[in-house]
Chain A
Amino acid sequence: MQYLFPDNSVIVCFARADELGVLEQYLRGKGRVVEAVSREISDSAGHVSALGQMDQQVWFGDPIPIVGAVNVRAVEGVRVAVFGGGKAKPREHLGESQTLHLLRTDVDYQDSIWLTEDREAFRFAQRQHVTTRDTFGILCEMVGYLDLSTERAFEVAQHILDAGEPMLREPASPRDFLV
């Protein structure tokens, strides 16, 4: 089954724009998160009020833990060597590292899609042949599925930008979603 793994950057984007409903619609019950991303979402709820309403159990089910010394060690290696996290800061880039490791190594999740607004994570995952979407890509896909009109997708993007959240790709007009 193809799961969707949003990272905290994407969730915060939609939450700050007060458009979490759009993201929930896109996930269609197929959203999953690793443990570290789940913790990041909880931490973000402290300063992003809309996240306080999010029931992670309903959205994502149980967060997926990474267990076993081999896996923990591999995640730590990716965190430091790939994402530049500091050893003295054990949670720096942990969510990205856990997600990437899971999608790369667990056959149950290898067809999944990683949703991220982090440019470095986005580019790296693509080069590692992990299917990836940024917020613009999510909205394009929703337009393609007829879940959103181009005008509504543009409005959501505007709300995100107005909320001060940068987008990896910013649409200039509703027509940009017709790709």
Chain B
Amino acid sequence: MGRVAVAQGRHVVGRLVYHEIVIFAIFCEDWFMADDQVVARVNEVIERTGLSKKDFASAIGIDGPKLAKSLVGKRRFTSLELALVAEQGDTTVDWLLTGDSTRELVLTHRAAEYAIEASDLVGRETIEMLVEKLEGLHFLGRPLPFPALPLKPAVGGYVKQAQRLADDCLQMLGSLVGGLTNSELIGLIEDRFGIDVVVTGLPQACDGLSFSDGGVRAIVLATSDAPFRQRFTLAHEVAHLVFDDSRDAVIEERLWADKTQTESRANTFAASFLAPKSEIVARLAERSAVDAFDDLVLHFQMSPSAMSWRLLNEQLISQEDQRRLESQTARATAMRAGEAAEHTNRARLAGVPRPAQRLVDAYLDAYRDGATTLRPAAILLGQPVEQLELYFVDSASADDSALHFA
């Protein structure tokens, strides 16, 4: 598992139009942005490149004397010059202006420090993109809701804490969990918890990632042919976010690979969240948990192993039954129950990438209101902007045909 510290720095504005945003900025921290601090940071970038000031000016294609004047405070840097400096120094204009370590900057640098393989950066890049787009909505004066999550219980061991927090989260979710598809559950988590979720291809053995800071909560799940594992990872990552394990950090998940208390706590939370005791009891009706085991596995969409431990922990089965039941497989269970087709379909859906729908909707709303272009939504959807334009703007579809009534 890699942990990466990430600095904060968010700027919240209300729902404003473009002119108002610019005027608003004058009264915000921008007003106090001292030029000498910008100069200091440009100097820092130049030093990092190891170039002389003259060679640096030449490398970014700006006039040497102009750069020299700016560096002694006799001239202000222009927007283009700051972009060129940022580009050359592998940093961002935000950082040059404010010194706030932008998330992607620290992520990239720390990733290099930990010698994480390039493929591991895929998930991190997705997180960076989500953060960038969430910040973009703040700039447009259209921040997404960021509800307060239930607080971590102050007392009790980690198992009790996990169970209680799972109960609180279920109350906040306001819905039964068993029977929901993974997609429905993700939608509810986005909506109720303000957590943005992306499903995408991740390097092998990486089940997911989570990240949070003062204004962003994000989960990236791996596409998979194992829908129950994907669902468990989702709940496990929710645990990291509500316990604040992912605060200012990216946690890469290799499920079951880590035996730390933090991971065990997240597993306990996930099991309690996905299969609440009250729902299990209601589902059992008059049956014993052993007799109803296949049905419980398929209804709560939890692996036989995880479900057997869940039932044991709730004292609904014996230790002997647990050992016997945990060796079953999800696919065999589905076959036995005559739900093979449904399970195959679940597996297919778990392999389909999913964009951060809350963000996509927010950007499409902003586009509809004339506040942005289609490009941010296209990036979130991973589609060429022309394709999105055809889809939403230019063309009718078969949905609009009256023929199917004929």
Contacts and interface: CB of A to CB of B under 8 A. Distances in A.
Interface of A: 35-36, 39, 42, 65-78, 80-84, 86-91, 94, 98, 101, 104-105, 119-121, 123-124, 127-128
A66 B79 contact: yes
A69 B33 CA distance: 7
Interface of B: 18-19, 21-22, 25-26, 30-31, 33, 35, 38, 61, 76-80, 82-84, 86-87, 92-94, 97, 102, 104, 108, 128, 132, 135-137, 139-140, 370-376, 378-379, 385-386, 389
Given A81-B372, A84-B376, A90-B86, A65 B80 contact: yes
Contacts of B80: 35-36, 39, 65-66, 94, 98
A87 B385 contact: no
A89 B375 CA distance: 15
Nearest to A96: B373
A97 B197 CA distance: 29
Contacts, number: 125
Given A39-B80, A90-B87, A91-B87, 18 more contacts: A35-B78, A36-B80, A66-B78, A69-B38, A73-B97, A76-B79, A76-B93, A78-B139, A81-B372, A87-B104, A88-B92, A90-B84, A98-B80, A104-B18, A119-B389, A120-B374, A120-B385, A128-B370
A44 to B, nearest CB: 14
Contacts of A105: 19, 22
A70 B22 contact: yes
A65 B373 contact: no
A127 B79 contact: no
B57 to A, nearest CB: 14
User: Interface SS of chain B: helix, strand, loop or mixed?
Assistant: helix
B56 to A, nearest CB: 16
A124 B76 CA distance: 30
Contact of A72 (B84, B93, B102, B371): B93
A124 to B, nearest CB: 5
A91 B85 CA distance: 10
Nearest to A35: B80
A81 B78 contact: no
A67 B79 contact: yes
A74 B372 contact: no
A170 B26 CA distance: 43
A78 B80 CA distance: 14
Contacts of B22: 70-71, 74, 101, 105
Contacts of B385: 84, 120
Contacts of A72: 77-79, 82, 93, 97
Given A73-B25, A84-B376, A90 B33 contact: no
Given A80-B135, A87-B132, A90-B86, A70 B79 contact: no
A42 B84 CA distance: 14
A39 B374 CA distance: 25
A68 B327 CA distance: 66
A80 B18 contact: no
A39 to B, nearest CB: 6
A84 B374 CA distance: 8
Nearest to B377: A84
Could you say which of B78, B86, B374, B378 has the most chain A C-beta atoms within 10 Å of its C-beta? B78
Contacts of A77: 21, 136, 139
Contacts of B26: 70
Given A71-B79, A90-B93, A91-B87, A84 B375 contact: yes
Contacts of B389: 119
Contacts of B83: 36, 90-91, 94
A104 B375 contact: no
Contact of B19 (A84, A88, A91, A104): A104
Could you say which of B26, B80, B97 has the most chain A C-beta atoms within 10 Å of its C-beta? B80
B139 A80 contact: yes
A119 to B, nearest CB: 7
Contacts of B18: 78, 104, 128
A105 B21 CA distance: 11
Closest 5 A/B residue pairs (Cβ): A84-B375, A81-B136, A66-B79, A127-B370, A90-B83
Could you say which of A73, A91, A94 has the most chain B C-beta atoms within 10 Å of its C-beta? A73
Given A69-B30, A74-B22, A128-B18, A86 B78 contact: no
A87 B61 contact: no
A81 B92 contact: no
Nearest to A72: B79
16 contacts: A39-B61, A67-B76, A72-B97, A74-B22, A77-B21, A78-B139, A80-B132, A80-B136, A81-B376, A82-B371, A82-B375, A83-B373, A87-B102, A90-B87, A91-B84, A119-B386
